[in-house]
Structure 1
Amino acid sequence: MSETAFLAMSAFDLVFYEAADSVHGVSWLAIVSGLILAAIGAMLLVRSRRRSVPGLGRAS
């Protein structure tokens, strides 16, 4: 697992569990911010893999 994916998952876990521990339960803000962090991590992971694997880069 790459550092970026690990950081994204850690951030998601932190936000999710902090929200779950709150009085109001899981808030929409926590869910949305967690998904955004996960999406950013996935995009960075895909970009780093594209650079390292020939043939998966730009199609031009």
Structure 2
Amino acid sequence: MNTGQWDQMLSSFGDMALMLAKYRDELLKQGFERQEVLRILIGWQSIILGNNKESR
């Protein structure tokens, strides 16, 4: 992996983190409990990253 590819990958991780933080904040505003929000976000992230056994 060259430097440009590495930078692009790190940038995409940052973008995903910002998106998840916004989604978290919106779920909390809607009245979801913090534990449930974390379960939702972890499940969604697992699917996106391909680490979810159910998605295979």
The TM-score normalised by the length of structure 1 is 0.46
Select the structure with the greater relative contact order (CA < 8 A; seq sep ≥ 6): 1
Name which one, 1 or 2, has greater alpha-carbon Rg. Answer: 1
The TM-score normalised by the length of structure 2 is 0.49
More helix by share: 2
